[in-house]
Structure 1
Amino acid sequence: MKHAQIHAKLLVVAAIWGLGWPAGRVVAADVSPIVAAWIRYVIVAGLFIFYLQRKDNWSYPSPTQWKNIAYIAFFSTFLYQSLFMYGMKYTAAGDASLVITFNPLFTAVLAVIFLGERLTRNLILGLTMALVGMLVIFTASPNTDIPELDRWFGNTFIAGAALAWAVSSILMKKLMSDTPEDAQQPLTPVLVTIWASLVGLLLLTPWAGIEIAREGLPSPSFEAWVGIIFLAVFSTVLAYVWFADGILVIGAGKASFYVYLVPPFGILGGWFLLGEQLGATLILAFALIVAGVVIAQKQEEENEQPS
């Protein structure tokens, strides 16, 4: 198969991102959510700085680009990571991996509001189907060993994380396509992610410092350290670089297909590693949400057609 190595890497990326949900559940049960996110991004920042030093084609953003990166850092690192860790404290990994799939739908809706893209029947139908799927997760999850109110809280936090990431996606799209007057060229996806991660770490630091001052230095268990390192090294740095390589070689559309494999890995990972429950309702929710996303993604094709 052509580009077999890239496809193999993307399959590994889907597995890593899927297993990131049970890893997050383990970490959130052991360490304060904000402190855990901060430790994760200390490791991420160190690895990204090492990565930058080994590359010859990196550059500093212009003042205008720095401003936009600060907004992206707030939504993609500070807000997303806070909501992700708080969500994983309360809900099941399998449930969360399905809820986060709402991200592209939120992105499509925000593109209508802020980028002037058209609201089409495909988007409305896809959004409706996915909302039904999310309702199934909220009301009929097989993970009844977790109190229902906790699952509602956790799933709501994860939905908020999906919305935060969607906002950052809109901002990133503009940053990577526009060249401000004080810049020579748009920033690449890798550079945007790296700089936003570093700024996001700065935003997380004061809150983490307050929690450490109030509760003392964290002492994660061995399992929590494994989870933090997995989230930092594999789920954030390695997976993103490989996914960016996939987009470069086979295109965004084909690479994005592998994102649909994340929830099955998340559900199976939660079952195998954490003893979470499997059930027909998870399959139903997965089918509704993914079908809704696929239908709604035709929104982009319709927007590209002449009006």
Structure 2
Amino acid sequence: MREYLGSLYLIAAASIWGGMYVVSKQVLAVVEPLELVWLRYVVALAALVVMGLATGQSWKVRRRDVPLILLIGLIGYCISIWAQFAGTQLSSAQMGAVITSATPAFMVVFARWLLNERITVRKAAAVALATAGVLLIVGGGDGSGSFQLGGAVLVVAALTWALMSVLVKRVPNGYSALVVTTYGILTAALVMTPFVLGRNDLVRLVADSLTVWPGLLYLGIVSTAGAFYFWNKGLQLVDAARGGLYFFFQPLVGTLLGWLFLGEQVGWTFWLGVGGILSGVLLVIRE
């Protein structure tokens, strides 16, 4: 029952993130990636604090666990999420969803390094297939430098999210997933604040654009406060390598919604890359 519940949490998180790329593509037409991530976290923190107070969470963290939680916030919520938005802005919602779906294969490597999980021949083949798929997508694109740069930035997002996801497994079980998520997002928001406040037009831009707020509320409450909590909670219930496999749902949702709502078209190299990534994921699922 524990693993089934963990699977449901992870499926919910990955599906929400698949839709996130479509929403962020629209908002990025008005707000720059760094500012969007910061605004998203401000909204998410308000939602998480309310949830924490309503459920009577304990906010105490032992001193020896502080560096780990700070790393989760810096690597996963600061670097990775900024890279997701920046890469999506330079490429497409579909590319954002598909390249970051290589995360499960990268998690296999980090789980071996940090958690001593054994790398089998099947897992090694999965990493190779996913990497080849990513390279095909980055190199295929539309031939423009911007599109390929966006793909490269999205690879950074996939690597750092994989590392963060494995670090979450090192957090002691006594901590609530909601508390870990809140402190991680708070860390990322504090790191970004000095860079964001120097932009004088941020408040005016958001205040003058009513079309931005629905997207911000979705990104902050649903895809950040909600999905980050689901992801961390799910990872507490299943092992790292298996948990990462539920990213499989992200490219499916992201590609479908990008095609339906943004009219994005894809070429044969894109689908070949998708096949490589998903083949790698399926290899690990079969094991």
Cα-to-partner distance string for 1:125-181 (whole Å, 9 max, x where unaligned): 11111122112212334xx3xx6211111111111011111221222211235xxxx
Answer yes or no: is 1:205 the counterpart of 2:201. no
The corresponding residue for 1:54 is: 54
C-alpha separation between the residues in 2 aligned to 1:265 and 1:32? Answer: 24
C-alpha separation between the residues in 1 aligned to 2:210 and 2:172? Answer: 39
The corresponding residue for 1:183 is: none
Deviation at 1:89, TM superposition (A): 1.6
The corresponding residue for 1:154 is: 150
TM-score (norm 2): 0.85
The corresponding residue for 2:212 is: 224
Contact 1:127–1:296, Cα closer than 8 Å, also in 2:
no
The corresponding residue for 1:106 is: 106
Q: Which amino acid is 1:273 matched to?
A: F
Q: What is the number of equivalent residue pairs in this alignment?
A: 282
Deviation at 1:77, TM superposition (A): 1.3
Q: Which amino acid is 1:217 matched to?
A: V
Contact 1:129–1:288, Cα closer than 8 Å, also in 2:
yes
Cα-to-partner distance string for 1:36-70 (whole Å, 9 max, x where unaligned): 11111000000000010011343311112222211
Answer yes or no: is 1:285 the counterpart of 2:273. yes
Contact 1:176–1:189, Cα closer than 8 Å, also in 2:
no
TM-score (norm 1): 0.80
The verdict on how the C-alpha distance between 1:12 and 1:67 changes in structure 2, with shifts beyond 3 A counting, is: closer
C-alpha separation between the residues in 2 aligned to 1:175 and 1:6? Answer: 16
Deviation at 1:13, TM superposition (A): 4.5
Deviation at 1:9, TM superposition (A): 7.9
Contact 2:6–2:235, Cα closer than 8 Å, also in 1:
no
Answer with 1 or 2: which has the greater Rg: 1
CA RMSD between the two structures: 3.0
Answer yes or no: is 1:78 the counterpart of 2:74. no
Q: Which amino acid is 1:155 matched to?
A: G
Secondary structure, aligned partner of 1:222: coil
Moved more, 98-107 or 40-49: 98-107
Tell me the percent identity.
Answer: 25
Answer yes or no: is 1:175 the counterpart of 2:175. no
Runs (5+) with no aligned partner, structure 1: 178-185, 302-307
Contact 2:52–2:178, Cα closer than 8 Å, also in 1:
no
Secondary structure, aligned partner of 1:77: helix
Contact 1:107–1:169, Cα closer than 8 Å, also in 2:
yes
Deviation at 1:7, TM superposition (A): 8.5
Deviation at 1:193, TM superposition (A): 1.3
Runs (5+) with no aligned partner, structure 2: none
Deviation at 1:248, TM superposition (A): 7.9
Query: Which residue of 150, 160, 165 maps to 2:161?
Result: 165
